[in-house]
Amino acid sequence: GWLAGLGLAIGGDEAESRSIRVGIVQTGDHVPSHPRTRPLITTVRYRELTDTITELHTPATLEAVRQGAELMVWPEASGWVAPDDPNATAQLDGVRSIARRAGVPIVWSYFIRINPNETRNELVLVTPDGRMSPPTTKDHPVYAIGERSVTAGLYETHEVAGTRLGLAAGPDGTYTDTLARLAQMGAALVAIPTHDWAAYTAPHIAHLRLRAVEHGVAIAKADWRYGSVVIAPGGEVVASTSLDQAREALLVADVRVRTPGTLYTASGDWLGVASLGSLAAMLLGGVALGVRDRRISGDRRESGTRPS
């Protein structure tokens, strides 16, 4: 059952393919503990925090472009102001300036703490001409750590270097719906800024490799400390950082992309349900046949021992 389903899911891997060179920035420490950002987050100086994060990401971004990167992905919550904030023009212009200097688009994720019960966790694509795309929302906010998103259901795809790009964030790739939707929208590459903890990194990447195979999409995951990875549509890891050792790193890798979509993309989880149903039917059929055979065998023995 499930083997047949997997075989159907990965069918069509011979679709036309090409490559895109992706750059991923991994700072080595995250906002709550980095010596430059900790004083700012603890005192709720979000505009200064955004400026500082942009400065931290700039050297690696420019180096990746020198190595030929056509797209840059920064970690989750690299911004603490929103594109629609009229008081954050300087911070937004700072991100635009880096995209302009780099000459390539940047996937920029921002987190907004409106109040203890309301947050925004969104992503945009910042292009070299200074445009910020309409936002994509994080599909699966992490309630346990205080994410209470007031925006949802916003999805965009973008054309980057001849490749259709989709955006997701955090644990979205652990669930089956987000990448399926993006593949249906034509995304051949999905950029996923994350902020993982060490125990979650390995299973998270395992889930992403499954999502890649399920839909024939490439994935670029950018994290603050560990577990940044580039995954090919066949599920192969093209480039990665340590799963549990926090360190500064820059990934620049060519990843093959192809026309997205498989039978599973079209059928969704119904393919799995049908496979399980078929397996259950075969098992029940086997049990029924076994009962029938035993009954026939018993009748024959009884007939053979009955006096004539």
The domain containing residue 294 runs over which residues?
269-308
pLDDT, one tens digit per residue, over 41-67 is 999 999 999 999 999 999 999 999 999
Instruction: Give residue-wise pLDDT tens across range 196-221.
Output: 999 999 999 999 999 999 999 999 99
Q: Do 264 and 217 touch, CB atoms closer than 8 A? A: no
189: in domain: yes
Same domain, 137 and 202: yes
- In this prediction, residues 60-88 reach a mean pLDDT of 98
Same domain, 287 and 184: no
1 found inside a domain:
no
Residues 198 and 284 grouped into a single domain: no
Q: What is the mean pLDDT of residues 179-197?
A: 98
Establish if 7 belongs to a structural domain.
no
Enumerate the H helices of the chain as residue ranges. 2-9, 38-42, 46-66, 89-102, 177-184, 198-215, 263-267, 270-305
Q: Are residues 65 and 135 in the same domain?
A: yes
- 244 lies in some domain: yes
CATH number at residue 239: 3.60.110.10
**Letter for the amino acid at 129?**
D
| pTM score, whole prediction | 0.87
User: Does 11 have pLDDT greater than 70?
Assistant: no
Q: What is the mean pLDDT of the chain?
A: 92
Answer yes or no: do 98 and 233 share one domain.
yes
Q: What is the tens place of the pLDDT at every residue in 247-278?
A: 999 999 999 999 999 999 998 877 778 878 88
Give the count of domains, the chain.
2
185 in the same domain as 287:
no
147 and 280 in a single domain? The answer is no
Q: Is residue 8 part of a domain?
A: no
Q: Which residues contact 52 (CB under 8 A, 6 or more apart)?
A: 36, 37, 40
